[in-house]
Amino acid sequence: MSSIATKRLAKELFTIKDKGTPAGITLLHAEDLMTWYFTIEVLGESVYAGEIFALRFTFGPRYPIDCPEVVWVVDDQFKAPVHPHCYSNGHICASILGNEWSPVLNVQAVCLTLQSMIASCKKKEKPKDNDSYVKRAPKSPKDTMFHYDDDTV
């Protein structure tokens, strides 16, 4: 991993461990600088109120120039939110994880954005193309050319 990525990730992790995370967001573990896990709980009034989801961040050597791979953890304990921008395999269609990524964004900003995206949704529903996407999806959502055209959910 490049020294820029290492320095940036070390600084972000130190800040998280020193100052904590925003309400409803918890660092599960970050045993190395390459992969971090968080839980996100939707707070307040929402169709997802009280639900807890887990995110995995995987960082490449060009972070923060390149965005991290961010996916919902889908296993025996956690499921992806049933949401129009969240596929059942954990992939997330969010412009900040694609063409609107900026090196000024950090892990906490991504977590807050996804927490807000879920909390503001009015109806639990999968993406219209969920089943076909999951069948043909690449291993990494970064290899998908998502079309970002729905900012209403």
Which positions are catalytic? 93
Report the C-alpha gap between 114 and 10 in whole angstroms: 22
Cα–Cα dist 79/140, whole Å: 17
H/E element, 152 = none
Beta strand segments in the chain, E: 25-29, 35-41, 52-58, 69-72
Q: Which two tokens stand for residue 41?
A: 């709980």
- List the strands of the sheet with 69-72, edge to edge: 25-29, 35-41, 52-58, 69-72
The neighbour count for residue 145, using CB atoms within 10 Å, is 6
